[in-house]
Structure 1
């Protein structure tokens, strides 16, 4: 909403020297979003005066029309002689009044005016168009001024070219600020001065003889006022002051009748519509659309109506889409006098109604007609302003158009009681965390327009122009914003003692830290999933991951479900970064996946008048999908870059497996890694991640088909596991290692086992047999060869033994090693290599 400061001063007595930025600061403190303050005419310098064209000489011999004009500018040039001016426009004639800038003046944009010779003549100034004066984009010709303008008068003041305009972004809950009346009320409160309310008019009540109106849907139209004005001069034009106010507010002047309806809407916030009375047939009826009805709106488009559309009709059918746009059949006409009389509109019926915001909003969006009227109705219009708006429009038509307002006033009203809210007097104090007191609360609510009764418990009657005030918190917000947000104390919340992060939260953070420390970068992704991503992974049709929880209102139709795996989002992030020139990538994410429950009951409706019971919340939880937390990593390119320190190495399946082991160590869970097959991993380079005999994830290199389908770098690797399952198998918080001051004893052992025996199983047997003296165990070599035999492999381990209270002897270390080897022989049929 654009608010000219000169127009605002008409309703609020602002300080004489107050600037637009000062007013904007006050309004921002009161909670309005003033985006910019536009300064009009700042770079315009005179003399800019009213001139009268005395004589026009048409110059020939040029490619375009050129006119040599003599213009009377009075005494503005210091001599009283006419100015000789060259002009290329042809829309003015001798005797017309025009705006003339004399030599020495500067037009907006820094265009300086001088006397100069052109087309063989000396041009002593310039006759200006509206666009050249910064009044709008109209450049069809010269700006013609009304004939009553005095020659030589200052055109800057006449055309109100110097002004400041506040550009306010009105939020949906503050529809009252979409008019001068609403902003003026806020400014009056901000400056502590009285408001000259433009809606306080002497308005007659309903009287017989008005244009007949029938409302068939009183819930969608609770007020409808109709006034009739006849005898309007169809050639009358809007005065300059009205045109300029409309232009500054961002609207284009059209004709007197239309300009008046727009002007009143900007002034009072009540959208109006004017019907050509001669084109109406029968009474005006407000009703819902019937199947198959059509309406040609003012923009010339024929629209097929929906049964939910609220219409304005007469005996001929629909003549307007209520609260949105009028129909072409009753449009106000502008024209000259014809053989049978005036061609333009000379009598109008003014509609000032209050429509249901929801009905208007849905119709506007259904037909893609977002108009100034619908914008106001859907945010809430003051229903009690319709009578004043109709009266104001009628008065202006009489004053400016020479019309006569008929005495009959039609008013259809559905009675409704004022809205009241009961609130403890100290409720704003408790919301803001400060002390206002009952008197301050009552005064601020009265500034808003409320009537306040009561002492400890206030009964507040909400003004008709504030439909957004519905509960005590809304009233508290009004008190707080008018007292000043900057006055609120800064206080830190006090958490209850004895609480902190849960073990699951601690694990989540530990996992993030260890992965980041291992060189991975966290890349949170959206939790939405579509079938195309699952197809790219190459999942079978019956894969459980294809069973997704579908959203009722998805952001994108291509991703209508919630993810069942983290891989699609992470792989998309990897592909996007690789496409932007990043070649060596290691990304990770921890997040929820959503697994549907086939037997889940429907979500029960919850009450709104009380807190749900524990049983109701339990039923709601039972209707939700399972939401385990997963962790996933993806890798591509070099895991270690080459340099003077060494050759480096590319990321491979072992790095993905190592990431899983790192996460398991952070959780304190015994993770078993064994060969597996699982889409979308390569069947020969896929590892199962097992905890307590349960497969909780997979790691390895992706299948070439998946890499090709998803346009990923070659040999892309990934890991994903169930972090909640890992936490459940863990030993709780990771304990710090106990440090011993005694030396370590190292024993190496090489065991030959069948090729299909997992190294993790051999390692587990060694740990169990070695006993408590074993400090660490590391696999440092895997060997296969003809000397071992087909289907056999050698696993070499380094075992470190240490005691906390003594130095181990060679015999003690050897006994522990032999016990470890015996355990491996018993569980895995291992043979000591070289024995």
Structure 2
């Protein structure tokens, strides 16, 4: 919200010499954050001048200039720049005539830009200044011609300071208004807050307006909300007033243009400017209708399916059944609380005006504004809550300005519907504010602070009963009242003491294990990245399932990138994109990982069909369950991508390229961090190299895959031929792992080591053979590792020789060679039974 200081001073006393910085400092005390200071960025001398005469001089470039003689000071006096009273000025505009009063920027002046003015030779003359347009002065966008003061209804003496005359010496402070303090979107609201901060006297602009009582024969208005949202009517207050015989061609006064400009609103026409001015002044959005364009009375209702409305921005909009519309006998003429319709717009031919000020349901307005992408100034205020008591004063204020500035005549009465419920009292027990804020406040301080914000404070036996003011819909409970006391008494009273964390809180088991997994990978040299959760249909099919078949995906209603309109089913495409980007920047050795959610909808199921609950109360368990049912599964996955060299070439050391072994090392690190027993078995995946793919299991359930990307896929993604990847369903890994880790005792007796070579069919996974040997050897087997996989002479074609290193140990005795051999042969026997293995001689 931008607040011109001259406007603010009308409703609260500003000490002479108050600067924008002083106003910002005061408003910060009451919780309104400062943003910026806005000025017209002008420096004088800029004065009123009179065009005495001019000569039109065609130029060789086809342009015609005017060599003008302009009086810039009364006859016999020196000009503001110390020069003669009459200046010769070159001007390219052609919309002025001798005798016109204009704005002249004399040498030494500075216009916005900054654009310094100096006497300069041009078109064969020395132009001693410049005649300014509205845009050059920062008053508007009009640059078609120079600004003639008669168009603003101004006839000031020659030599008058034009900066003060046009209100260009004003400044505006900009503040950030939080969603719960919508009343601060008005000069009225900010003036009240400034009074709270400084103790200055506040003059309520509403009390200065002569509100006219509604009469029985006022303009016909009917509110017919057959389908209220949350059981709350879309409009509870609707006030109108009629002004007849206005002259829309009259100029908007310069002071109003300047204030609107500083407040961030462009001047459009007198009638529209008046409605915008009152909206900024009181915080009540106003809409004006061309009364003669209306057909019959006004009815407020919900839109019907298929209805259309062309709004003031010229766009035809298809309405939703939740939209509140203002209608006459022909149908919708306005989108209630958001934007008016084009058919009843005030224009150059308007002579009679119907003024409307209403109070609309914030939730309904917020949904309509977002649905139609119409973040209007009116909607911005309504969705934060507007004072329901001021519409009668607002329409009277607009009528007053239209009578004073547009020459109209206001009807004696107006129409008013006021069905807004009275505010309920909030019980505030003694001591509650002090206990909540942590500061000892006296009862008088609590009473005076709540009365100062406009509340009706009534003492009770246990404390106070407080009825919040009508302009503060955010005050709904005793906690909010306590915050107001803290704010007005002063935040400086609150001590800077760190609270003591309550016992028994901390990370959940899942949170702790996820962090441990990330820490272990990072500690091993991997770099964590964060990628966008969007994917193409092909990426979801290729990486979202092991067989590469088409899978169900969540499609975004409004995707950021039209080429990737789905939510991801896998983290690997995001890692590939990150790797490609880093490779293009010369980083050829990469070890990346990401921990994030994937989205796994079920085929044939509809998601997001549950109706969104209202935002004014916490949904009950049934509503939350319905919302949860409309959300697809979103497990947390962990993915790793490694490419390039894991060990760089150096003297005495050959380069070691990345491969599946590095992917499996990452799996083992995650297993160590989570305490999971991840079984690695031969597997297959549509996106991974056959024979270089591992299926990862926990407790017999598949939780992911590891391997090397198919070379064709890597090449298509502009990656090296060998890219090792891992993707684990980390939530499943944690869920399938028993909490806690059983510590193994350290053996103190000698171990017996033996090797076992088994011949099996080439397609038998080594992990299956190892599992059989481990089970068959029994509890004496302490450790088993595969040390050789041989295929060649001496081994039948189609077979392979697997050599395992075995270590045996007993906890109570020293094993004999015979005992170790017996256990080894038992393992070999079970491997023969399960995998068809035979001992290699």
Residue range with higher mean Cα deviation, 247-256 or 505-514? 505-514
Is 1:636 matched up with 2:635? no
In the TM superposition, residue 725 of structure 1 has moved relative to its aligned partner by: 5.9
- 1:111-140 Cα deviation digits (max 9, x unpaired): 443344443334332222222223333222
In the TM superposition, residue 249 of structure 1 has moved relative to its aligned partner by: 1.4
Instruction: Indicate the residue corresponding to 2:446 in structure 1.
Output: 441
Instruction: Indicate the residue corresponding to 2:229 in structure 1.
Output: none
In the TM superposition, residue 392 of structure 1 has moved relative to its aligned partner by: 1.5
In the TM superposition, residue 24 of structure 1 has moved relative to its aligned partner by: 1.9
Residue range with higher mean Cα deviation, 179-188 or 165-174? 165-174
Is 1:588 matched up with 2:593? yes
- 1:674-716 Cα deviation digits (max 9, x unpaired): 3233444333222333455555443222345655676654333
Distance of aligned partners of 1:493 and 1:46 in 2 relative to their CA distance in 1, 3 Å threshold: closer
CA contact (8 A) 1:821 1:832 kept: no
CA distance, structure 2, for counterparts of residue 624 and residue 290 of structure 1 = 30
Unaligned runs of 5+ in 2: 226-232
Is 1:28 matched up with 2:28? yes
CA contact (8 A) 1:529 1:563 kept: yes
Residue range with higher mean Cα deviation, 184-193 or 276-285? 276-285
Is 1:50 matched up with 2:54? no
3-state SS of paired residue (1:15): coil
Unaligned runs of 5+ in 1: 335-343
Is 1:135 matched up with 2:139? yes
Instruction: Indicate the residue corresponding to 1:337 in structure 2.
Output: none
In the TM superposition, residue 472 of structure 1 has moved relative to its aligned partner by: 3.3
Instruction: Indicate the residue corresponding to 1:270 in structure 2.
Output: 284
In the TM superposition, residue 266 of structure 1 has moved relative to its aligned partner by: 1.2
Is 1:372 matched up with 2:371? no
Distance of aligned partners of 1:728 and 1:463 in 2 relative to their CA distance in 1, 3 Å threshold: closer
In the TM superposition, residue 200 of structure 1 has moved relative to its aligned partner by: 0.8
Distance of aligned partners of 1:226 and 1:508 in 2 relative to their CA distance in 1, 3 Å threshold: closer
User: Aligned runs of 1:287-436 on 2, under 5 Å?
Assistant: 287-289=301-303, 295-303=309-317, 308-315=322-329, 318-334=332-348, 344-414=349-419, 416-436=421-441
Is 1:87 matched up with 2:91? yes
CA distance, structure 1, for counterparts of residue 234 and residue 184 of structure 2 = 23
Residue range with higher mean Cα deviation, 192-201 or 235-244? 235-244
Distance of aligned partners of 1:712 and 1:157 in 2 relative to their CA distance in 1, 3 Å threshold: same
Instruction: Indicate the residue corresponding to 2:267 in structure 1.
Output: 253
Instruction: Indicate the residue corresponding to 1:341 in structure 2.
Output: none
In the TM superposition, residue 267 of structure 1 has moved relative to its aligned partner by: 0.8
Distance of aligned partners of 1:649 and 1:445 in 2 relative to their CA distance in 1, 3 Å threshold: same
Instruction: Indicate the residue corresponding to 1:828 in structure 2.
Output: 831
In the TM superposition, residue 180 of structure 1 has moved relative to its aligned partner by: 0.9
- 1:186-225 Cα deviation digits (max 9, x unpaired): 1111212221111113534425486422213263333232
CA contact (8 A) 1:224 1:413 kept: yes
TM-score scaled to structure 1, two decimals? 0.84
3-state SS of paired residue (1:788): coil
In the TM superposition, residue 393 of structure 1 has moved relative to its aligned partner by: 1.8
CA contact (8 A) 1:87 1:127 kept: yes
Distance of aligned partners of 1:817 and 1:790 in 2 relative to their CA distance in 1, 3 Å threshold: farther
In the TM superposition, residue 268 of structure 1 has moved relative to its aligned partner by: 0.8
In the TM superposition, residue 493 of structure 1 has moved relative to its aligned partner by: 4.9
Distance of aligned partners of 1:15 and 1:88 in 2 relative to their CA distance in 1, 3 Å threshold: same
CA distance, structure 2, for counterparts of residue 128 and residue 67 of structure 1 = 14
The correspondence for 2:481, drawn from 475, 478, 485, is: 475
In the TM superposition, residue 91 of structure 1 has moved relative to its aligned partner by: 1.4
Is 1:655 matched up with 2:662? yes
Distance of aligned partners of 1:438 and 1:567 in 2 relative to their CA distance in 1, 3 Å threshold: farther
Distance of aligned partners of 1:823 and 1:526 in 2 relative to their CA distance in 1, 3 Å threshold: farther
User: Aligned runs of 1:767-778 on 2, under 5 Å?
Assistant: 777-778=784-785
CA contact (8 A) 2:49 2:70 kept: yes
CA distance, structure 2, for counterparts of residue 453 and residue 541 of structure 1 = 73
CA distance, structure 2, for counterparts of residue 35 and residue 207 of structure 1 = 41
Q: How many residues align?
A: 816
Residue range with higher mean Cα deviation, 311-320 or 554-563? 554-563
3-state SS of paired residue (2:208): coil
In the TM superposition, residue 34 of structure 1 has moved relative to its aligned partner by: 2.9
- 1:263-294 Cα deviation digits (max 9, x unpaired): 11111112223334444454444445566765
CA distance, structure 2, for counterparts of residue 234 and residue 730 of structure 1 = 78
TM-score scaled to structure 2, two decimals? 0.83
Distance of aligned partners of 1:514 and 1:776 in 2 relative to their CA distance in 1, 3 Å threshold: farther
Distance of aligned partners of 1:557 and 1:210 in 2 relative to their CA distance in 1, 3 Å threshold: farther
